[in-house]
Amino acid sequence: PGVGRIGAGHFVVAGDASPDGPLRIELDADTLAGPAGEMHARRLKVRLEGSRRSHALLAEAELGGREKLEARLAGGVDGAVRDGWSGRIEHLRLASADGARYVLLAQPGPLAVAGEGWRLGPLQLRAARSEFSLSAQAGSRRLSVAADGRGERLGDVVLRLDAGMRDPWTLDRQAP
């Protein structure tokens, strides 16, 4: 309640809590929905293997209109990010069911997530006849997003977005 619901699946955690002890997490779920029942993903699979300090995470899901998401991250909880995780996105692909429309990661990029905020990129992304760079970060009061791209259909695109946040995970709809 309040966070979301996982429908029909299984969840396994094995290992120990020491920084370098073995750790394995598996999650398979038919559905992932938000607190109001809004569907976020179907056929969700998440696998984490390694240790708290150093692990790999693989994720697959079917999103919204049957787009398929695939991701591979590597990193860990090592103190570089206070009370959080830091690492790299090594593979990222979001594709339509038929594969005709897609976005993929052209080269690995950094990601850090903690209670006080998160930071993404810069990421170099590629789509059909388009390339772009994306960076984003959020803290307790501000979200900043920067994207620059070029594509056959898009031309040159420059995007800068700054928004108020209630916390690092929630937009403040009242902020200027």
pLDDT tens-digit series, residues 72-94: 999 998 766 667 899 999 999 99
Confidence of residue 17 (pLDDT cuts 50, 70, 90): confident
Q: How far apart are CA 21 and CA 48, in angstroms?
A: 13
User: Which residues, 6+ apart, have CB-to-CB distance to 119 below 8 Å?
Assistant: 110, 111, 112, 136, 137
**Nearest-CA neighbor of 111 among 143, 80, 69?**
80
Q: How far apart are CA 164 and CA 148, in angstroms?
A: 22
**Nearest-CA neighbor of 68 among 89, 92, 95?**
95
Query: Average pLDDT for residues 85-105, to the nearest whole number?
Result: 90
Query: Average pLDDT for residues 35-46, to the nearest whole number?
Result: 81
Tell me what pLDDT residue 150 has: 95
| pTM metric for this prediction | 0.84
